[in-house]
């Protein structure tokens, strides 16, 4: 699992593949889609030379055709008007998951019992809420959030006035948890009240994840 801020991917490679498609197919010019801008801010913060790249602050991002060679590239335009290209690969490859990503993963683990409990209430065959196909085997039954998990995290942090990026975690793997258990318990209550769970097939879940990455293409 890999997290770019609150956005979840099955691996770094899945995110890299999605970014490759985005850069290759996005319209040339300023990126204006709010979610795409949010992801690009999170991305550039991971760059090994982030401080120098960001400089006086980022005014906006843009997609520009490469002067040398074929294809397109990502550029940032600073608040002072200067601009510079950056490689999304350098932002991702070899970089450990951010502390923010660990917090998001820890909160997802904190509500795992709710997903399991919901799964146990379902009888087969069940209908996949994404594709409409019939699910006949437990091994093909996944539990999906109707409202994306990252949106729940965003709403929780805004309502409670909590900056997730400054929280600490302890443990690793499935034992990953927030140090502040009061916040973790508060999110469990929030998730129980606000999350809309639905059955989905394994294939539909994977395809949905791919569409989430490709949402970066909806710009301009």
Mean pLDDT of 37-54: 89
Strand, coil or helix: what is 150? helix
Write the CA distances from 101 to 5, 9, 54, 204, integer angstroms. Answer: 5, 11, 21, 24
Residues 63-77 have pLDDT tens digits of 998 875 568 899 999
Q: Which of 114, 207, 96 is nearest to 152 (CA)?
A: 114
Residues 193-215 have pLDDT tens digits of 999 999 998 777 765 554 554 45
Residue 172 pLDDT: 67
Residue 94 pLDDT: 56
Residue 96 pLDDT: 59
Instruction: Say if pTM beats, i.e. exceeds, 0.75.
Output: no
Q: What are the residues facing 72 on neighbouring strands?
A: 65
Strand, coil or helix: what is 76? strand
Asked if 153 contacts 107 with a C-beta cutoff of 8 angstroms, the reply is: yes
- Exposure string of 125-147, with b = 16+ CB inside 10 Å and e = fewer, is ebebebeeeebeeeebbbbbbee
Q: How far apart are CA 69 and CA 46, in angstroms?
A: 26
Q: Tell me: pLDDT of 95 over 80.
A: no
């Amino acid at each position: 699992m890999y997290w770019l801020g609150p956005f979840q991917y099955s691996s770094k490679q899945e995110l890299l593949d999605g970014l490759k498609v985005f850069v290759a197919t996005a319209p040339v010019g300023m990126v204006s889609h709010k979610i795409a801008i949010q992801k690009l801010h999170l991305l550039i913060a991971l760059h090994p030379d982030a401080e120098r790249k960001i400089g006086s602050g980022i005014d906006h991002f843009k997609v520009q055709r490469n002067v040398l060679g074929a294809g397109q590239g990502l550029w940032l335009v600073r608040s002072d008007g200067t601009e510079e290209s950056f490689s999304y690969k350098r932002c991702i490859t070899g970089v450990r998951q951010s502390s923010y990503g660990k917090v998001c993963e820890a909160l997802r683990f904190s509500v795992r019992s709710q997903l399991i409990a919901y799964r146990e209430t379902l009888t087969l065959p069940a209908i996949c809420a994404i594709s409409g196909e019939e699910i006949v085997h437990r091994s093909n039954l996944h539990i999906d959030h109707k409202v994306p998990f990252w949106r729940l995290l965003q709403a929780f942090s805004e309502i409670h006035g909590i900056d997730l990026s400054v929280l600490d975690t302890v443990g690793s793997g499935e034992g990953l948890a927030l140090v502040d258990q009061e916040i973790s318990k508060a999110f469990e209550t929030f998730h129980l009240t606000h999350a809309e769970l639905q059955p989905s097939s394994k294939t539909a879940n994977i395809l949905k994840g791919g569409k989430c990455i490709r949402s970066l293409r909806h710009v301009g």
